[in-house]
Amino acid sequence: MANKVKFGLSNVQIAKITYGENNAITYGSPFALNGGVNLSLDAAGETADFYADNTKYFSDATNQGYTGTLEVALINEKFRTDILGQFKDVNGALIENASDTLSDFALGCQFEGDSTGTRYWFYLCKVTRPSVASQTIETSKTPVTDTLNITITPRITDQAVMAKMEKTEENTTAYNSFFSAVYEKVTSA
């Protein structure tokens, strides 16, 4: 049965990208970015209208991916070293440097639904460094989250933006292994 509603965010996964010849993308093994709180993405692209015969004669829209935010409880060390390019020294301190190189990555996640979870992979993601924030404890402890500004663009090689899968009786195996590697389109069995 198909979902009627969606709610919840879980299973946030990150797969670092390395580039080869002709911008060929290789994804690393996915790792968890636990503590997913919120993913909010707005469609990016433009609508172009052409007028003729005193009316809108033609209209077309471009898909430039998404922009938005990913909010997590706390950005983990693996994300900080693999994606944000920070260095971990021999004493365990994470060092941020002005010359750190941020890496592109694929983002996987799951939205819960009234029937089943829907799993996603966004193929080409970039983030900016997160802000640093905390607050004093008042009458109760309120967690302060980390927020990443994220840009998702089409892959150069095939223009793919994302994959999305709901669990069905026919795709149980593919659904169960969806996060073991970045999911790619399957054209024949």
Encode pLDDT of 144-160 as tens digits.
Answer: 999 999 999 999 999 99
Residues of the chain with pLDDT > 70: what percent? 99
Residue 78 pLDDT: 97
Q: What angle do CA 180, 80, 141 make, to 5 degrees?
A: 100
Q: Is 185 a member of any domain?
A: no
Longest dimension (CA), the chain: 72
Q: Is 32 a member of any domain?
A: yes
- Structure tokens given for 143: 């967690």
If phi over 0 gives left and psi between -120 and 50 gives alpha, with beta otherwise, what is residue 149? beta
**Which regions of the chain are under pLDDT 70?**
1, 189
Predicted confidence (pLDDT) per residue in 107-121, tens digit: 999 999 888 889 999
Residue 189 pLDDT: 64
Instruction: For tokens 């996060």, name the residue.
Output: 179
Question: Which residues contact residue 34 at a Cβ distance below 8 angstroms, ignoring those fewer than 6 apart?
Answer: 12, 72, 73, 76
Residue 115, judged by CB atoms within 10 A of its CB (0-12, 13-18, 19+), counts as middle
Q: Is 181 a member of any domain?
A: no
Residues spanned by the domain of 33: 6-176
- Give me the number of domains the chain comprises: 1
Of the candidates 163, 120, 159, 116, the one whose C-alpha atom is nearest the C-alpha of residue 25 is 159
d(CA 149, CA 106): 14
Q: Is 182 a member of any domain?
A: no
> pTM of whole model > 0.85?
yes
